[in-house]
A and B are shown apart, each in its own frame.
Chain A
Amino acid sequence: MTAVFEPWNETRGGEIIAEHANQEGATLVILHALQEAFGHVPQAAIPMVAQALNLSRAEVHGVFTFYHDFRHEPAGRHVLKLCRAEACQAAGGDALAARAEAKLGVSLGNTTPDDRVTLESIYCLGLCATAPSAMLDGRLIGRLDQRRLDALVAEAQR
């Protein structure tokens, strides 16, 4: 299932920010909400968040860039995350990651030229007893093997 995001819209962005601005320590809450709506955190939203929270733009930019989750640009239509942490390494995750890179023709952290698939590393999904694991657009997959990975890649490319 592909997530559908709204195009950036200043009024809508302002509403989202206002909705959460009254919570204590709201910066991450707001950045999450913006990303959920627009698929990434548009640059234009940063000064708006700063103003709403009475912070400097630099502070908000600092928070935005510190966390791995926040996207500067929209991802591909599908996001395939492969767990690269130790439990999945022990179960053959490295070879599967290399296979996914080869199949998609992009390295981890990148999007295919047709914008269909973003391939990313993730450090632990907490599925370490059924390693290796992956996540395709929010759907969890454990006991990954070559066959299952190929099916996931094919699904993502559709």
Chain B
Amino acid sequence: MNLRLFVARDAGAIAVGADEVALALEQAASKRGLTIEIVRTGSRGMYWLEPLVEVATPQGRIAFGPVTEADVPSLLDALAGNTPHLLRLGATDEIPWLKRQTRLTFARCGVIDPRSLDDYRAHGGYKGLERALSLGPDAILNEVTASGLRGRGGAGFPTGIKWKTVAQAKADRKFIVCNADEGDSGTFADRMIMEGDPFLVIEGMTIAGLTVGATKGYIYIRSEYPHAVEAMNAAIVTAKRGGYLGDRIGGSTHSFDLEVRVGAGAYVCGEETSLLESLEGRRGIVRAKPPLPAHYGLFGKPTVINNVLSFAAVPFVLAEGAKAYADFGMGRSRGTMPIQLAGNIRHGGLFETAFGVTLGELVDDIGGGTLTGRPVRAVQVGGPLGAYFPRALFDTPFDYEAFAARDGLIGHGGIVVFDDSVDMRRQARFAMEFCAIESCGKCTPCRIGSTRGVETIEKIINGERVSENIALVEDLCNTMKFGSLCALGGFTPYPVLSALKHFREDFAPAPTTLQAAE
């Protein structure tokens, strides 16, 4: 009997034992004389079911999970005898959590072998580039613009306009830079796609290159992601060998080459100008804008700098047409967003869906509430610079403008769930603390403001002149918001002010003080 099994190589799956399960499967199978082949895929994104083991059947893949080493013998019994098993989840594609998603960017993630160019092509890979090559730069720009795709890193700037600016710039050299410095807590979509479908990122960047006339690209990956670095490097070598990078890509006259660069643990390097400084080999100090990177970017040359997910969305747009992408979404947020459910959550993972789904659906319905089983009290949306939302705002639809209207941001699409044991004063203090640790130091509101913020919130926690100090923090946040050079200092007020606004009770003087005042 010949079994074809699938186990994720994704860092999130490895962290909960996927390597050990794969090894145990191999050893147990060889002991029994079973011939098995284990394909190491990306993750399907259902992390509460990892390590997930799938088996190929004539009716499609059947999933089992979460599998531990101890489950391996009984699992092999069930597979060999086609008998029931406690961990059997049925057909993977029919698992409701997966079935209700709209996977455009993540269509292949968890399905294909990320190291195989053939597998990528067999599942529709490089169709976007093929069409792009036949269209030419102007028509590609029209497609990307018409798709309504906006920067998935958080700022939501229209990708088509950014590309057009670089395309129109005159220079001897231009660059494509992929921002893979995914530092926001609660986000892991970039990591997943780099590990699970790295050729997709390469294809998106290649299309950008031929659109704007750039022949060199860099992927700046944070050092905390060694598995993603390895996956991207391997994919670049394979793509070169396959004729998809280097000279005459895909048989055309275009050249495009890629290089991975590794960050060094600075959160601020996720800010685009700081990232460019870092790529150039300098301190990650934010640049003042203008000039925009589109005019004066890497090494002073016109540069397209986009998030991993922005590049990863492009091949679908080209392969299926702008309309197919723009048909999803709401308002000015078109297409799908890979949303990441994290923190204290029962069903955490990657949920790609059209814009417009409400926060409440995401947290309660899809996420299944907290893992601890206690009531959800707060969710932070959009990373360390995102606002804390209370249950009262769970009707907010996932959309750039809708979140902005409620003094929040969707950022890179991460949602971190907290139960009722959370102390929002501590979360507010942490936001300032994190800004103080990570500030690049260039502008005063961020560099000094964050430290004064920590001190002042500390006083509130200690019950010192609480209402005056709250007013001081609010004033300080105002200065940081409008006076900082980049989003680090400029957005740190979001978590602080939202904690103050929606969870005021946590900031009230301690009950003992109240009694003393009576």
Chain A contacts to B: CB under 8 angstroms:
24-29, 31-32, 53, 59, 62-63, 66-70, 85-92, 122-131, 133, 138, 140-143
Contact = CB atoms under 8 A, between A and B. Distances in A.
Contact of A68 (B48, B182, B264, B422): B264
Given A66-B283, A140-B11, A141-B15, A91 B344 contact: yes
B266 A66 contact: yes
Given A123-B434, A128-B343, A140-B11, A63 B186 contact: no
A129 B187 CA distance: 9
B430 A86 contact: yes
B148 interface: no
Contact of B281 (A53, A70, A127, A138): A53
Interface of B: 11-12, 14-16, 47-48, 50, 182-188, 190-191, 223-226, 261-267, 278-284, 299, 340-345, 348-350, 371, 380, 383-384, 414, 416-419, 422, 427, 430, 434, 438, 440
Contacts of B226: 138
A128 B417 CA distance: 10
A134 B416 CA distance: 18
Contact of B11 (A25, A32, A67, A126): A126
B351 to A, nearest CB: 10
B3 to A, nearest CB: 27
Nearest to B17: A142
A155 B47 CA distance: 26
B184 A90 contact: no
A126 B188 contact: yes
A128 B264 contact: no
Contacts of B414: 87, 128
A129 B185 contact: no
B261 A129 contact: no
A57 B284 CA distance: 17
Nearest to A81: B224
Contact of A129 (B47, B182, B263): B47
B348 A129 contact: yes
B344 A122 contact: no
Nearest to B190: A126
B422 A86 contact: no
Nearest to A138: B226
Given A130-B15, A130-B50, A124 B185 contact: yes
Nearest to B277: A25
Contacts of A125: 11, 15, 224
